[in-house]
C-alpha cells in the first residue's frame, strides 16, 4: 500500500475534486448529476444552472422543463431534473447540507457514493467514494478481489489506507483511474506500479 500511495503522491500531489462548486448544496447537486457522465460535462451544465438559479429558493421553485433543457447534455435528464428540484426543496428547510449520512442518502438520487463525496469534501470525513475509476484501479492493483462489490471495495480500502491519508488518496485514485489507469488504453509502460498490476500481467 505504501508503494502505491507514494507513487500517487508523486504523480498527483494536489489531487482534488474536479467538480466546480461555490456553495455546499452546489456540490451535492453536482455529484448527483455526475452519475453515468463526466465531471467535465457536469461542470458545463452546472455553470448555466447555478447562474440562472442563484439560490436554493430559486432552485426549489424552478420550472422542471427549464431545468431539463439545461441539464439535457448529461443524460437521464428527466429523472435528474426531478431529483434536483426535490433536493433543493428538502435542503431549503435546513439551510445547509448537513453532516448526516442518513439524511443525505434519503434524498432522491443520492446513494452512498454521492454521500461519501459530499461528506469527505465538505466535512473532511475520511471516507472513500467508489466510482468506476476507484473500482478499476483497486482491482488492477490487487488491493481488492476482482469479484468484490462497491461496498466491499470501500471497506477494504478504508482498512488498508491510513486514516490520515484517506481523503487525499480517494481523489488520487479517482484521477489516476481517469487519466492514467484508464479503462481503454491505460498508460502502462510509464507506470511505476506495473509490476504489481493484475491488468498488466494479463496483457503480458
Marked catalytic residue, from 113, 139, 168, 200: 113
Q: Is 172 within 8 Å of 15 (Cβ atoms)?
A: yes
Active site residue 194: no
Place of cell 451535492: 28
Active site residue 149: no
What SS3 string covers the chain? CHHHHHHHHHHCCCCCCCCCCCCHHHHHHHHHHCCCCCHHHHHHHHHHHHHHCCCHHHHHCCCHHHHHHHHHHHCCHHHHHHHHHHHHHHHHHHCCCCCCHHHHHHCCCCCHHHHHHHHHHHHCCCCCCCCHHHHHHHHHCCCCCCCCCHHHHHHHHHHHCCHHHHHHHHHHHHHHHHHCCCCCCCCCCCCCCHHHCHHHHHHC
Marked catalytic residue, from 47, 52, 131, 185: 131
Positions marked active-site: 113, 131
Amino acid at each position: 500500500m505504501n508503494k502505491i500511495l507514494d507513487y500517487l503522491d508523486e504523480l498527483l500531489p494536489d489531487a482534488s475534486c474536479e467538480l466546480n462548486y461555490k456553495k455546499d448544496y452546489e456540490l451535492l447537486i453536482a455529484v448527483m448529476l455526475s452519475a453515468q457522465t463526466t465531471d467535465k460535462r457536469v461542470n458545463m451544465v452546472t455553470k448555466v444552472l447555478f447562474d440562472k438559479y442563484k439560490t436554493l429558493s430559486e432552485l426549489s421553485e424552478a420550472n422542471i422543463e427549464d431545468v431539463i433543457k439545461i441539464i439535457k447534455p448529461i443524460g437521464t435528464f428527466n429523472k435528474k431534473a426531478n431529483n434536483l428540484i426535490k433536493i433543493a426543496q428538502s435542503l431549503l428547510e435546513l439551510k445547509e447540507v448537513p453532516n448526516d449520512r442518513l439524511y443525505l442518502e434519503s434524498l432522491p438520487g443520492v446513494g452512498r457514493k454521492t454521500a461519501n463525496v459530499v461528506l469527505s469534501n465538505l466535512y473532511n470525513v475520511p471516507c472513500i467514494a467508489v466510482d468506476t475509476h476507484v473500482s478499476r484501479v483497486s482491482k488492477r492493483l490487487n488491493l481488492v478481489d476482482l469479484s468484490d462489490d462497491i461496498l466491499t471495495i470501500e471497506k477494504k480500502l478504508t482498512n488498508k489506507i491510513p486514516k490520515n491519508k484517506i481523503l487525499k488518496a480517494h481523489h488520487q485514485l479517482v484521477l489516476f483511474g481517469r487519466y492514467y489507469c484508464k479503462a481503454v488504453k491505460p498508460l502502462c509502460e510509464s507506470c511505476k506500479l506495473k509490476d504489481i498490476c493484475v491488468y498488466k500481467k494479463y496483457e503480458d
